[in-house]
Amino acid sequence: MKQVLVLGAGGFIGSHLVRRLKAEGNWVRGVDLKHPRYARTEADDFVVADLREPANVRATIDRTFDEVYQLAADMGGAGYIFTGDHDADVMHNSAAINLNVVDTCRKHGIKRVFYSSSACMYPQENQRDPDNPNCREDSAYPANPDSEYGWEKLFSERLYLAYQRNHGLECRIARFHNIFGPEGSWNDGREKAPAAICRKVAEAPDGGEIEIWGDGEQTRSFLYIDECLDGVLRLTRSGFAGPVNIGSDEMVSINRLVDMVCEIAGKSLTKRHILGPLGVRGRTSDNKLIRQELDWAPSASLCDGLTKTYRWVEEKVVRKETDSPERATL
């Protein structure tokens, strides 16, 4: 039985990852500022701790885990990342976590660490054309991310790679592209486009209106959580360090995404475009490298994942559930 550590185990991807690792038969410790919000954790041991504190990191990384998955970060959707109001927190909190984690892993002789970077680290000038964004892994430099969140991810990628070069820590780095699915933020200000649109559609009466930030012609791709986990586990257990994109290459405009959710819901809504925080104009995963190195790439349709996510959000809306305000305050 492998001993596995998941940092950020109370979050969206981390809580799903714990479930998957348990289903594989591993012994799992999860660490987070908070428990998962929508389901009980399946971790054998769940530690509530602030990973910005070195002593907490030393206390939780107290043995030579076979695998460490580092997903803890101060993050959110466009409404959190792109307003600028949280820049200092985002940079300080996530960098502090990564500095503590990588060094403690080295001191404990941990061999394999997965680090979750983000497509937000790609240069903004390569993502101006909504029909033809360039997110090839080797387009990262010269660097020019459009958010401090992206800069911190780039710094931490380099941090893990430096520990790999100088200290033999084996890192596996993925650049996630918009992961979505049930049991993620949907109405707490940190939700991302798929969950936010599912909520707005579920709340709107048939024939009503839906508000969309910007003109809706910005493009993105979205990867369903199950395929994200497939990619994370394959990468971590491979001989390839990355960084590599883990994302879908099924690119859609936000307007199209709204239409898809409306079709799933069986509703007809009029779009009202309003001012709101936006990211780059176009972004999608380039999957050549992951195919080449892992002989695998995500392939499930966006519609399948959206259907499952819509049903989950719709149930919350119908039950008039509100998210508990116990979300991590840093």
Question: Where do contacts with ligand NAD occur on this chain (CB under 6 A)?
Answer: 8, 10-14, 32-34, 50-52, 71-75, 93, 97, 116, 118, 176, 178-179, 192, 328
Min dist CB 25 to ligand NAD, Å, is 23
Sign of CA dihedral 271, 275, 278, 282: positive
CB 8 within 8 A of CB 71: yes
Instruction: Look at residues 119, 67, 98, 104 and name the one whose alpha carbon lies nearest to residue 161.
Output: 98
Residue 290 neighbours by CB under 8 Å, 6+ apart: 231, 235, 244, 245, 246, 296, 297
Whichever of 163 and 186 has its CB closer to ligand NAD, that residue is 186
Whichever of 38 and 296 has its CB closer to ligand NAD, that residue is 38
Whichever of 187 and 273 has its CB closer to ligand NAD, that residue is 187
Min dist CB 276 to ligand NAD, Å, is 18
Whichever of 168 and 189 has its CB closer to ligand NAD, that residue is 189
Alpha carbon distance 144, 155 (integer Å): 12
Min dist CB 10 to ligand NAD, Å, is 4
Whichever of 77 and 130 has its CB closer to ligand NAD, that residue is 77
Min dist CB 291 to ligand NAD, Å, is 20
Min dist CB 64 to ligand NAD, Å, is 21
Min dist CB 55 to ligand NAD, Å, is 13
Alpha carbon distance 227, 26 (integer Å): 20
Whichever of 17 and 110 has its CB closer to ligand NAD, that residue is 17
Alpha carbon distance 178, 175 (integer Å): 10
Whichever of 7 and 210 has its CB closer to ligand NAD, that residue is 7
Alpha carbon distance 136, 140 (integer Å): 8
Min dist CB 148 to ligand NAD, Å, is 12
CB 100 within 8 A of CB 127: no
Catalytic residue among 80, 115, 122, 149: 149
Alpha carbon distance 205, 82 (integer Å): 30
Annotated catalytic, 149? yes
Cβ density class 279-302: b for 16+ within 10 Å, e for less? bbbbbbbbbebbeebbeebbeeeb
Q: Which residue's C-beta sits nearest to ligand NAD?
A: 11
Which residues are known catalytic residues?
149
